[in-house]
Structure 1
Amino acid sequence: MDFALNEEQIMFQETTRQFLESKGDLAISRSYMEGNEQVSEELWDGLGKLGFMGINVPESYGGISLGALSLVPIFEEMGRAVVPGPYPETLAFAVPLLETYGSEAQKNAYLPQISQGKRKFTLAMEESGDKNSSPANIQTRAERRGEEYLVQGSKILVPHADIADTLIVPVRTGGSHSEYGISLLLIDTDQVSLELKTTQSMDETRKMFSVTFQEVKVPKTQLLGPENAGWPILQFGLYHLNAALCSTMVGGMDRTVDMATEYAKTREQFGQPIGRFQAVKHKIVDMKLALENARSLSYYAAWAVENNSEDMAEAVSMARSYTSEAYIDSAGSNIQIHGGMGFTWEYNCHLFLKRARFLENYLGSPRYHRETVASELGW
């Protein structure tokens, strides 16, 4: 099986890198962290004009009709630049869900806007005390009242809820603890009143919020998929989203290897570049080996979700568990190679370690994903 990028995907990668560099590369994230949210909006608008926001959107809705594998180079470049914004939640979560389970009205309403870079989605799933992402922890309720749902409850750790145009919200419409009774609602933030509260985040480029729903009225036409059967639909979307997150982590790892290698060539100690010391050489080689392992796993995970293969759950969780830990190790090694300066705000090393630590437990810890792999293998 050949996972090499084809000519079209290489073009996507090169164009994305050139565009991000023209906008300032890592300076984008730094500016965003310092409070300039406009840089994120300009970036989103620019990627929409380039057509990259419609890569996996069907042609009939204004997109290019490519799959998850064609998103890989885009997300890798975003990971290299630690780009802020709900790109994975929009492209790798909302689009596959809408395409597969959305009504025709929902597809017509949302997919063209996503393709044009005019609508952002995010996922509001986690609830207080939710450590294992089990169906029992989804207790935000949506009561059917005529042609509407009345939503009551709260969600935590919602990425970029302040700028998202639509929230995808798993709610309980029946039952109490089982998979049955969970439904997915599309809640447009400009149509309802929501209470948002900023949550402290390890990664300042990934703003997190708690969202409270106080008797929020949502039309029943905003139900995504069948009522009470939303859990498998949610899992389908999470496979796509986790595969995309692996690609962003691979991009970050690739950048840390480049940073460490370049610094080792130029930083001199005892009259020679530190890259000549065996300990530094070994550390960089270990980083490179981990990068290639992570890249292979992430490519296969993307292939698995694009082709809906039987081992999709296993492939995605295997990639997530390995890549999450490998990214932390790579980002940490990059700081160590840079020495004392690697810990300073002025150097960019900390951006990658913060992103790695944030993603470590986002949508499942490495341990959770290893347990998923073991379960899928029948162990």
Structure 2
Amino acid sequence: MEFALNEEQQVFQRSTQQFLKSKGDLEIPREYSEGKEEVLDDLWIGLAELGYMGITVSESYGGLGMGPLTLVPILEEMGRAVIPGPYIETVAFAAPLIEKYGSAEQKEKYLEQLASGNRKFTVALLEGNGELSPTNINVLATQKDNEYVLDGEKILVSHADFADTLIVPVRTGNNEQDISLLIVDCDSSTLQMEKQISMDESRKMIKVSFNEVAVPKLQLLGDENTGWEILQDGIQGLNTAWCSNMVGGLDRIVEIATEYANTREQFGQPIGRFQAVKHKIVEMKMNLETARSLAYYAAWALENNTEDVVEAIAMARSLITESFIQSASDNIQVHGGMGFTWEFDCHLFLKRAKSLENYLGSPEDYREQVVSELVGNKESLILER
């Protein structure tokens, strides 16, 4: 594979960078965190006008028909600006799953709206203790005539209050693997939503309660009781996208730390001349380049469905998550006491990094997944503890 952006991808990167700068760059997550939710509406409209909502939607439904590699430069730029919103869940998770597993009616209903920016998706995965496994999915879907009636609750649902539609894994049988995926439209369902405390204020987390919520059987994604396998497919795309997004954050951290080290003076010289500071920045840069290589390869492996795709994504997710947290922490150390203040941008990256630390599994979980792939013991992408 080519470890560099091609001409088309470079165009996407420049366009995304210019667009986000025009919208305020790092002021976007700051304003959203302060309660100015209209900035997210404005951002979504702009991304739709650029055609970015339809990147992974086929041309027959108004999209561009491209794959994970095309998303890489867009997601990196979004990571550099710590952008809020369910873009990743919509474009890297929902769109590919509906394209691959959706019925003709579901594709007709959702994909064109998704590509135009008129339909926002997120995924409601976690319950109870926050671990994702078949045994921890207990939102019960009871069949009644031509409907499923849902009871239970999902926690830590990213931007559920902003999304139009949720993809929800539910229990449809008594066996451990009897999991199905339902597409739940928020406007036609009596959902109860409650904001939850989140370390990263730019990633709003919502608890969604289902109290006898009726969902037509036509909203079943794929076949009944096959939802866990389908979900693993979607999580591969979700993790690959978040890896590229975190690489963008790493890149911006290196830029911020380097600029500060070259301009902040102590004892009559820039602090970047001090060994302790230089070493931290070098480590950040090395982490960045390693992370970028792994993220590019994971996206390439996913797009080309290589034999080592699960291993590639797991390696990328484990290393990049830890590198992002370490570099974000070191960046605050480089800035000293001022690095902890609201006025500096350092905290935005550390909060985002920590909020993703155990999302969809911890770095340790993914290292165990790599081991399983290497020894030939195929397990699901999300490990059960």
Settle same-fold status: TM greater than 0.5: yes
Equivalent residue number for residue 123 of structure 2: 123
Aligned residues: 376
**RMSD value over aligned CA atoms?**
0.9
Equivalent residue number for residue 234 of structure 1: 231
Equivalent residue number for residue 258 of structure 2: 261
Aligned: 1:170 with 2:169: yes
Q: Deviations over 1:39-92 (max 9, x none)?
A: 001000000001111111100000111100000111101100000100110010
Identity across matched positions, percent = 64
Equivalent residue number for residue 33 of structure 2: 33
Shift of 1:118: 1.1
Shift of 1:239: 0.3
The CA distance in 2 between the partners of 1:175 and 1:301, in whole Å, is 35
Q: Deviations over 1:249-270 (max 9, x none)?
A: 0000000000000001100111
Equivalent residue number for residue 281 of structure 1: 278
Equivalent residue number for residue 66 of structure 2: 66
Give the letter aligned to residue 101 of structure 2. Y
Q: Which runs of 4+ in 1 moved over 6 A?
A: none
Equivalent residue number for residue 24 of structure 1: 24
User: Which of 173, 190, 193 pairs up with 1:196?
Assistant: 193
Q: Deviations over 1:2-34 (max 9, x none)?
A: 121100000000100000000000001111011
The CA distance in 2 between the partners of 1:91 and 1:56, in whole Å, is 6
The CA distance in 2 between the partners of 1:287 and 1:72, in whole Å, is 20
Q: Report SS of the residue matched to 1:196.
A: strand
Q: Deviations over 1:243-294 (max 9, x none)?
A: 0000110000000000000001100111111111122111111100000111
Equivalent residue number for residue 81 of structure 1: 81
Shift of 1:117: 1.1
Equivalent residue number for residue 217 of structure 2: 220
Shift of 1:305: 1.3
Equivalent residue number for residue 151 of structure 1: 150
Q: Report SS of the residue matched to 2:188.
A: coil
Q: Deviations over 1:179-215 (max 9, x none)?
A: 2x11000000000111111110010000001111011
The CA distance in 1 between the partners of 2:154 and 2:76, in whole Å, is 29
The CA distance in 2 between the partners of 1:143 and 1:102, in whole Å, is 21
Q: Report SS of the residue matched to 1:239.
A: helix
Q: Report SS of the residue matched to 2:212.
A: strand
The CA distance in 1 between the partners of 2:306 and 2:205, in whole Å, is 33
Q: Report SS of the residue matched to 1:32.
A: helix
Equivalent residue number for residue 161 of structure 1: 160
Give the letter aligned to residue 173 of structure 1. T
Give the letter aligned to residue 296 of structure 1. S
The CA distance in 2 between the partners of 1:307 and 1:214, in whole Å, is 41
Q: Report SS of the residue matched to 1:158.
A: strand
Give the letter aligned to residue 339 of structure 1. G
Give the letter aligned to residue 57 of structure 1. V
Equivalent residue number for residue 142 of structure 1: 141
The CA distance in 1 between the partners of 2:249 and 2:4, in whole Å, is 19
Contact 2:40 2:85 in 1 (8 A): yes
Q: Deviations over 1:320-369 (max 9, x none)?
A: 11000000011011111111111101111000000000000111111111
Structure 1 regions of 5+ residues with no counterpart? none
The CA distance in 2 between the partners of 1:212 and 1:301, in whole Å, is 35
Equivalent residue number for residue 13 of structure 1: 13
Aligned: 1:355 with 2:352: yes
Shift of 1:233: 0.3
User: Which of 359, 362, 365 pairs up with 1:365?
Assistant: 362
Q: Deviations over 1:160-183 (max 9, x none)?
A: 01111000000011124x22x110
Structure 2 regions of 5+ residues with no counterpart? 378-385
The CA distance in 2 between the partners of 1:106 and 1:313, in whole Å, is 28
Contact 2:130 2:155 in 1 (8 A): no
Give the letter aligned to residue 82 of structure 1. V
Equivalent residue number for residue 290 of structure 1: 287
The CA distance in 1 between the partners of 2:120 and 2:276, in whole Å, is 45
Q: Report SS of the residue matched to 1:313.
A: helix
Equivalent residue number for residue 302 of structure 2: 305
Give the letter aligned to residue 127 of structure 1. E
Contact 2:199 2:351 in 1 (8 A): yes
Equivalent residue number for residue 383 of structure 2: none
Q: Deviations over 1:89-138 (max 9, x none)?
A: 0010001101100111111111111111111111101010242x211111
User: Which of 321, 324, 334 pairs up with 1:324?
Assistant: 321
The CA distance in 2 between the partners of 1:225 and 1:306, in whole Å, is 21
Q: Report SS of the residue matched to 1:257.
A: helix
The CA distance in 1 between the partners of 2:23 and 2:117, in whole Å, is 17
Give the letter aligned to residue 160 of structure 2. A
The CA distance in 2 between the partners of 1:32 and 1:145, in whole Å, is 41
Q: Report SS of the residue matched to 1:164.
A: coil
The CA distance in 2 between the partners of 1:138 and 1:347, in whole Å, is 40
User: Which of 335, 346, 349 pairs up with 1:338?
Assistant: 335
